[in-house]
Structure 1
Amino acid sequence: MDVQLLLACSVMMTLMVVLPGPDWAYLIAAGTSGRSILPSLGGVLLGYLVTVAAVAVGVGAAVAAVPWVIVALTFAAAAYLVYLGVRVLRDPPVVAQADAVVAGVAPGDGAPPVTGDHPWRRLAQGAGVSGLNPKGLLVLVVLLPQFTDASGSWPIPVQLAVLGLIFVACCALVYTVVGLGARAVLRLRPSATRIVSRVSGGAMIVLAVVLVAEQVPHLAGWV
């Protein structure tokens, strides 16, 4: 593949990932939960890897040709974000739990259990957030094919897979910083944990409303 094309694609995808969205809100919530961010981060990356594989085998083109599929996925993503946001707002990590994590006290050693779900459940949640994230779908389904070269030596599916993996790598880098940054707040200022957690939970709900609002013109055009 053309090196300049790869660089241009990498810059574009990094800029897209840096823009705050559902993934950011979820990783911030994961970082302030008092647990390792790895299951949540791994779930987000897994969701995008599945989408990349689907795009590479041609599912992306089929989805792009049917506009209502994107709309349906957007509404599903909005509903899922509201569900996660409400959960974070209803059960934010408390200061006592944050203090236990900072002190290195494991749950069950005389400290209250740290708020959080089983790692496999957080992995599934992360995959749901990224798998239904309309921004990620637009990048992989709509923008990615524009950086392929039909006259290149690599088949189009291989090019899509490589470009998709670059996108996932960008996500891994940016979201690791986001999650660890939220965790740093937990360690440096445990009292701020509840505030950051509530902000991330509220952000999920606000983003869900924005996603639905963006689809209203499309629905109006079909009526």
Structure 2
Amino acid sequence: MPSADLLIPFFLASAIFACIPGPGLFYAAAQTLALGRRAGWYSAVGFHVAGLWHVFAAAFGLSALMTLVPALFTVMKLLGAAYLIYLGLTYLRRSESVLASHRKRSQPRLGRALRDSFVVEALNPKSVLFYLAFLPQFTDPAATLPLWAQIAVLGGVVNVLFTITDLLTIELSHSLARRLPSSDRMTVTLRKLGGGLLIVLGLNLALTRPP
């Protein structure tokens, strides 16, 4: 593994990045407000799994293709943005009562939350390039582990830190939602708030320029 001279700044930088509000945190909050706490946790799992995919891509150089072929960045960006906007519009169109909402918060709904979060994060080109640009800075060519293994381990640590902040955001969002009056109208309002936030995230991603 890299020396302490590299690991200490790595942990500090990773902790700072994990605490900076970004699309992942806002997405977790939107899902929690729109679908509830359990859906938020499932979304965090989906984000975590997609993060592991980004680590794998960075470790084996797949992410480098995006810097060599700019069209791949544009394609991923537009697909991810379209999916976010689609999810947001779906939430805005729904106006079920609390009882109907509870009936639909079954395993299929939770499974959908996991799937949606995985797709959104996996198609986020900014996340792909972040791992590619960030992790190699803290590798040591003289270490016993090969570079790809160092990137995989360091990426796993970053992914765990990001997941922790996602879960904290979900719990804070859930706590906020519980403090609000419980009614059908409030449930619809929270879903519309979550849907609007997803649309904003989608538009922001669509307007992102390649690095």
Structure 2 matches for 1:26-65, cutoff 5 A?
26-32=27-33, 33-36=35-38, 37-65=40-68
Tell me the TM-score normalized by structure 2: 0.82
Q: Which of the numbers 117, 141, 157 marks the counterpart of 1:150?
A: 141
Per the alignment, in what secondary structure is the counterpart of residue 165 of structure 1? Answer: helix
Per the alignment, in what secondary structure is the counterpart of residue 214 of structure 1? Answer: coil
Deviation at 1:200, TM superposition (A): 3.1
Per mean C-alpha deviation after superposition, the further-off stretch among 143-152 and 72-81 is 143-152
Structure 2 matches for 1:61-210, cutoff 5 A?
61-91=64-94, 97=98, 111-114=99-102, 116=105, 117-191=108-182, 194-210=188-204
Deviation at 1:210, TM superposition (A): 2.2
Unpaired runs of 5+ residues, structure 1, are 98-110, 219-223
Deviation at 1:49, TM superposition (A): 0.9
Using the alignment, how far apart are the partners of 2:26 and 2:181 within structure 1? 19
Letter in 1 for 2:64: A
Using the alignment, how far apart are the partners of 1:38 and 1:55 within structure 2? 26
Deviation at 1:196, TM superposition (A): 4.5
Letter in 1 for 2:131: L
Unpaired runs of 5+ residues, structure 2, are none
- Distance of aligned partners of 1:12 and 1:69 in 2 relative to their CA distance in 1, 3 Å threshold: farther
Superposed CA deviations along residues 107-130 of structure 1, whole A, max 9, x for unmatched, are xxxx44425452222211111121
* Cα RMSD after superposing both structures: 2.4
Superposed CA deviations along residues 174-200 of structure 1, whole A, max 9, x for unmatched, are 000111111112222145655444333
State whether residues 64 and 141 of structure 1, in contact with CA within 8 Å, keep that contact through their aligned partners in structure 2: no
